[in-house]
Every structure is written in C-alpha cells, then in structure tokens.
Amino acid sequence: MKNIILSILFVACAALAVVCFVQESKLQKQGAELAQSKQQLATLQTELKEKTDAIEAAKLSEVKNKILQQTLNESTTAAVEQSKKAEQLQQSLAEAKTNNPLHSISAMLKDPKMREMMKAQQKAVIGPMIAKQYGDLFTQLNLTPDQQANLKDLIEKRMLAGADAGVSMMDDSIDASQRADLVKQIKTQTDEVDSEIKEALGDQNYQAFQAYEKTVPDRMNVSQFNDQFAGTSSALSADQQTQLIQAMSDARNNFNWTSGLNQQNPGANGDVASLLTDENIDKFTQEREQFDDQFLARAQQILTPEQLQAFKAFQATQRQMQIMGMKMAKQMLGH
C-alpha cells in the first residue's frame, strides 16, 4: 500500500463488503419469513371470523356448539401465536436494518475462518492488480521474467503485511496503545520489504520504482474508469489513458493539500486514530472536491464531452467511497 491509512481503508472496505453480504442475506431470509408469517396470520384470522360466525349460528345443537367452541379456542391460540411470531420477526427485521454493522464486523474478525477468508480475498485482488498496475514499470525497467516475478512477489508481500496488521486493528477489544504498536509493525514490515526491493533492483532502478509508485493511485483510477466503460463510446484510447494518468499525477503533486490525511505516509508514528477525526475527514472531503473540480478543467483537454461527463460521475463515486471508508475506519478504531 502507499501508506498505512490506505492499508486500513483496504481492510475496512473488505470488511464492509463481507458484512453487507451477510446482512443482506439475513434481511432477505427474515423478510421472506415475515411475509409468510403475515400470510399465515391473515388466513388464521379469516378462519377465526368464519368460525366465530358459525358458533353464533350453531346454537340449535349443544354438541355442535361444543365442537365449534373447541375449534374456535384452538384457532384463537394458533392466531395469537402466529401474531406473536410476526411481531418478533418484524422487530428482528427492524433491528437488522438499524444495527451498527461495525459490531458485526468486529465480531466476524475474531473468527479465524473469517480472517482467513478475508486474507484470501485480499490476495486474490492484489495479485492481478500488481500485474496490471506495474506492467508499464516492468517494461520501463526492462526486467527479465524472473526479475518481474520476484518484484511482483515483493510488492505483494508488502501489501499483505499491511493488510494483515490492518485486520487486527479492526478488533474492538484492543486499545489505542495496541493499535499504535500494530501501525509501527506495518511500517517496520513494509520498510523491510522496501529494502529487499532496493537490493533486488539496484539504486538507479529503485529510484525509478519510487517515482513510478507515486503514479500508481492515479493509474488505478484511470484503469477502473476504463474498465467500467469498456466497450462503450466513453472508453479511453491508450493515448488518452497515458495523458490522463500524467495529468492527474501532476495535478495531485501541485495541489495544496492541507488535510493530515493527505500528507506523506500519514499515521506512520502509530497515532492513526488522531488523524481520523471529523475535522480532518471534513477537510479532506472539501479538498478532494476542490481537486476533482479543478482537474475536470484539465481533463476536458484530453477527453470528449461524453467521456468528461462519465469521468465526472466516476470521480464523485470514487470520492464518496473513499470518504465512507475513512468514516468507517474512524468508527472501527473507536475514535
């Protein structure tokens, strides 16, 4: 990851996806049970009314009256029980919709099987992402297939080191001091891998690697946009992708970022929670909106009017997702 905050957000988004899937499945099941219960209750209530009317009309025969009365009592009991079940399901459904999913995430992260599943998902995402986002670098450095494979493994190792510690940080049973230790652990592990990368590439190629890495977030944005609109008139040409990545990287480096969340490697001292404050997130939101608006003026020199509108909508969605991830990480860190 580019920095520790990104590692935490990566885990937060993965955890959110898991809990949303679980909650959605639960809601669908409870909703189906509630609908069935209401249908059964309505049927019983109809039967109850019919039997009540029958009793009033059945006074000619004492035996018949006793039989109908017994049936009425049984139907009433069943209707009451069904009504209670419907009320319970309704309450459970309401609670499921309003419950804070962060508690569910924290509970799931304590399950070793769930942690392993999340690690497997992260690894499945990271591998193809490295191949796609670092492909130009491999060509630029003229690496052999063995050198490419080694560098891919090292980049993946660095990313997974941060992601693994990030999962542990989401455990609501640990305190601020333990989280600070985990952040330091992430930095130590990533620094160690960076040293391995430098040794593998040599000084000159390592400098090129560092410069290239600064453009990776922008490469990912452009790649995601193009994947989303592949096969449509908004798809980008190879030349447009190159121009957009360079323009975005230049604009980002020249923008006056003041939010602590946009500084170089924020949270490296272990105090991540103090960065994820409402004030910092609000400032980041304002600056991100300003940056996106300013960059659109530059992007219109590269994109067609149709592509520009699509890119504007894409920017808004990416911004909202990033802000949501920060807010979620803030809550999960208990700040």
158, 4 Cβ separation under 8 angstroms: no
pLDDT at residue 83 in the model: 58
What share of the chain in percent tops pLDDT 70? 59
Radius of gyration of the chain (CA): 29
Per-residue confidence (pLDDT) for residue 2, from 0 to 100: 43
For 204-222, what is the mean pLDDT? 92
Report the chain's mean pLDDT, rounded to a whole number.
76
Instruction: Give CA–CA dist 139/145, Å, rounded.
Output: 11
Q: Mean of the pLDDT values across residues 23-34?
A: 58
Give me the pLDDT at residue 186, please.
Answer: 82
Cα–Cα–Cα angle for 137, 141, 146, rounded to 5 degrees: 90
Question: Tens digit of pLDDT for each residue in 268-306?
Answer: 555 566 777 888 889 989 999 999 999 999 999 999 999
Q: What pLDDT digit, counting tens, does each position of 57-90 carry?
A: 555 555 555 555 555 555 555 555 555 655 665 5
Least confident segment among 97-101, 159-163, 305-309: 97-101
Could you write out the three-class secondary structure of 166-219?
A: HHHHCCCCCCHHHHHHHHHHHHHHHHHHHHHHHHHHCHHHHHHHHHHHCCHHHH
- The least confident of 50-64, 118-132, 161-175, 255-269 is 50-64
Residue corresponding to tokens 């450095």: 141
Instruction: Determine the residue type at 284.
Output: F
**235-260 average pLDDT score:** 90
More confident residue, 145 or 116: 145
Give yes or no for residue 94 having a pLDDT over 70: no
CA distances from 142 to 145, 147, 148 (A): 10, 9, 9
Identify the helix (H) or strand (E) that includes residue 60: none
pLDDT greater at residue 284 or residue 3: 284
Which range has the worst mean pLDDT, 147-151, 170-174, 289-293? 170-174
Closest CA to 191 of 135, 275, 265: 265
Give which of 197, 188, 217, 318 is closest to 6, Cα–Cα: 217
Structure-model confidence comparison of residues 154 and 91, the more confident one: 154
What phi and psi values does residue 138 have, to the nearest 5 degrees?
-60, -40
- Alpha carbon separation from 72 to 54, 57, 126, 304 (Å, rounded): 10, 14, 65, 74
Element (H, E) at 61: none
DSSP string covering 244-278, please? Answer: HHHHHHHHHHHS---SGGGSSSTTTTS--TTTS-H
How many Cβ atoms from other residues are within 10 Å of residue 53's Cβ?
10
| pLDDT at residue 38 tops 70 | no
Question: Secondary structure of the chain: what % helix, strand, coil (to 5)?
Answer: 80, 0, 20
Note whether 284 and 329 are within 8 A (CB).
Answer: no
- pLDDT in the model for residue 28: 59
Q: Which pLDDT value is given to residue 27?
A: 52
For position 101, what pLDDT does the model report?
A: 53
**For position 145, what pLDDT does the model report?**
92
Which carries the bigger pLDDT value, residue 11 or residue 322? 322
Q: Residue ranges of the domains in the chain?
A: 4-19+105-332, 20-98
pLDDT exceeds cutoff 90 at 247:
yes
pLDDT level of residue 10 (50, 70, 90 thresholds): low
**Tokens standing for residue 309:** 């509108």
Q: Residue 97: pLDDT band by 50, 70, 90 thresholds?
A: very low
pLDDT at position 272 is: 65
Entry pTM: 0.64
Residue 96 confidence (pLDDT): 47
